[in-house]
Amino acid sequence: MLQTICTPAAPAAIGPYSQAIRTGNLLFTSGQLPMDPVSGQLATGTVEQQTEQVLKNVQAVLEAAGSGLDAVIKTTVFIKNMDDFARINAVYAGFFPANPPARSCVEVARLPKDALIEIEVIACVK
């Protein structure tokens, strides 16, 4: 059975998709952008600031589903510029201080709303 996850603590979907879907004890999130969940506006600023906002949004979706960052199995990180990799890693490491999940990182030509970063995750539900 599939359960749709939706929380006002993370940005609303900007298209025909769910913030996350739970099936059994697995949770699959949609890509999270660096958007403010209250205003719905893209967070401006540095790639570090955008990365922090993205990970806060991921965390909010996980918590709404009864999970957390410590239960993330895999992340996929989409970035606009691979030259930002080290700067993104510095912020990312703060959200996953122990037993970081498996990860893929891909440079893409363009992200929705011209964001610098987008992250999707797969997690266990506690």
Smallest Cα–Cα separation from 90: which of 35, 33, 48, 31?
48
Smallest Cα–Cα separation from 107: which of 87, 83, 78, 84?
78
Residue 105 annotated in active site: yes
Q: Which of 9, 105, 122, 125 is catalytic?
A: 105
Which residues touch 107 (CB under 8 Å, ≥6 apart)? 79, 80, 81, 82
Catalytic residues: 105
